[in-house]
């Protein structure tokens, strides 16, 4: 058991796979376990999770710098990005990063829109030629960080996927048209929860293609019958919540939102850069790094390091619960 930033984590030495699955605080794991026990006995009613949905929504808004009434609750990035894609004109042109995570790009391609791939370093320069830029704040494959200031200055509508950034990076993204993120990585929540923050003008252009009772102006009064009566704010884009994941999110997200995220960033990035320096590589200023070293994956696995293979390279991710012991274990394994 490790202690970090005022909480405890049952995370083993060498766990550097948060970019795939975040380890929850012990309190969050306990909350979810209690919810499972109540489910097993039928103790909770259908509306028992409503408060948790609101708590997680508000905390996500604080983490990305957006008021809660502009945040929709969903289940995955692709599901929420599809709402954005549905609202674009049929001839819209979308700019994405070459090698971007496909949950961000496939919804636009599946709709038949014009999707152009460029290198991350070229996104700002090319943005003005397109109707929308869709880019991850931190690239999933290798941890490179997007030029957010440059994107903001273009004035082009922007959709940001913050899945690999929110939770360790201080973010103030109220300027973006859309911000999407999933909960099971650096937000340390169970799989099955995600959020989409919309600017007021972007909300008007986002289509509730999965309109349902939970997105109603009063969910428990919109269970039956027409006419359509959706919520006036971003809740109109909600889907019916995945109960157990929302219990976990309502525990983990307020905890993260209460922290000094600049300190979390400095901690996680400091460890990542120390690893790179120890390997004779240049620091990259990201909590997510990738290594192109011979047999690195096998050597790390043999040493008990949990990592992942992405785009042909070993990916390692540091979070608030990691320590210099994890760095030393990697350096020893790759010496």
The DSSP letter of residue 29 is H
pTM value > 0.85: yes
Structure tokens at 142: 């290798």
The span from the CA of 61 to the CA of 170, in Å, is 12
Burial degree of 196 (CB within 10 A; 0-12, 13-18, 19+): buried
DSSP letter for each residue of 83-105? HHHHTS-TT-EEEEETT--HHHH
Structure tokens at 326: 């994890």
- Helix locations, the chain, DSSP H: 26-40, 50-64, 77-86, 102-110, 123-126, 148-154, 200-204, 243-257, 261-278, 296-302, 324-333
Give, for all 335 residues of the chain, the pLDDT tens digit: 999 999 999 999 999 999 999 999 999 999 999 999 999 999 998 899 999 999 999 999 999 999 999 999 999 999 999 999 999 999 999 999 999 999 999 999 999 999 999 999 999 999 999 999 999 999 999 999 999 999 999 999 999 999 999 999 999 999 999 999 999 999 999 999 999 999 999 999 999 999 999 999 999 999 999 999 999 999 999 999 999 999 999 999 999 999 999 999 999 999 999 999 999 999 999 999 999 988 889 999 999 999 998 988 999 999 999 999 999 999 999 98
- Residues 25, 8 contacting (CB under 8 angstroms): yes
CA dihedral (298, 300, 301, 304) in degrees, to 10, reads 160
Domains recognised in the chain with CATH numbers: 2-25+260-333 (3.90.1150.10), 50-257 (3.40.640.10)
Query: β-strands 71-74, 132-136: how paired?
Result: unpaired
């Amino acid at each position: 058991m490790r202690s970090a930033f005022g909480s405890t984590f049952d995370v083993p030495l060498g766990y550097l796979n948060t970019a795939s699955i975040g380890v929850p605080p012990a309190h969050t794991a306990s909350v979810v376990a209690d919810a499972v026990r109540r489910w097993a006995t039928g103790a909770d009613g259908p509306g028992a999770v409503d408060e948790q949905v609101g708590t997680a929504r508000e905390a996500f808004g604080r983490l990305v710098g957006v008021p809660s009434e502009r945040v929709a609750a969903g289940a995955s990035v692709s599901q929420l990005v599809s709402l954005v894609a549905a609202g674009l004109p049929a001839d819209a042109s979308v700019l994405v990063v070459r090698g971007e995570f496909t949950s961000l790009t496939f919804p636009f391609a599946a709709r038949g829109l014009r999707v152009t791939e460029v290198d991350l370093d070229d996104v700002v320069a090319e943005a003005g030629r397109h109707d929308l830029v869709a880019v991850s704040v931190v690239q999933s494959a290798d941890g490179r960080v997007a030029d957010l200031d440059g994107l903001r200055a273009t004035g082009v509508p922007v959709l940001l996927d913050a899945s690999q950034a929110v939770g360790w990076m201080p973010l103030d993204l109220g300027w973006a048209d859309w911000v999407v993120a999933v909960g099971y990585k650096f937000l340390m929540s169970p799989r099955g929860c995600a959020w989409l923050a919309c600017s007021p003008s972007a909300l008007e252009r986002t289509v509730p293609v999965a309109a349902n009772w939970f997105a109603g102006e009063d969910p428990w009064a919109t269970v039956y019958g027409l006419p359509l009566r959706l919520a006036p704010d971003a809740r109109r884009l909600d889907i019916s919540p995945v109960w157990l994941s929302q219990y976990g999110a309502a525990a983990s997200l307020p905890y993260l939102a209460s922290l000094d995220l600049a300190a979390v960033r400095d901690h996680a990035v400091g460890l990542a850069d120390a690893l790179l320096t120890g390997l004779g590589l240049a620091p990259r200023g990201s909590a997510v790094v990738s290594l192109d070293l011979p047999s690195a994956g096998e050597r790390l696995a043999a040493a008990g390091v949990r990592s992942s293979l992405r785009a042909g390279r070993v990916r390692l991710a540091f979070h608030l619960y990691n320590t210099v012991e994890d760095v030393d274990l990697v350096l020893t394994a790759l010496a």
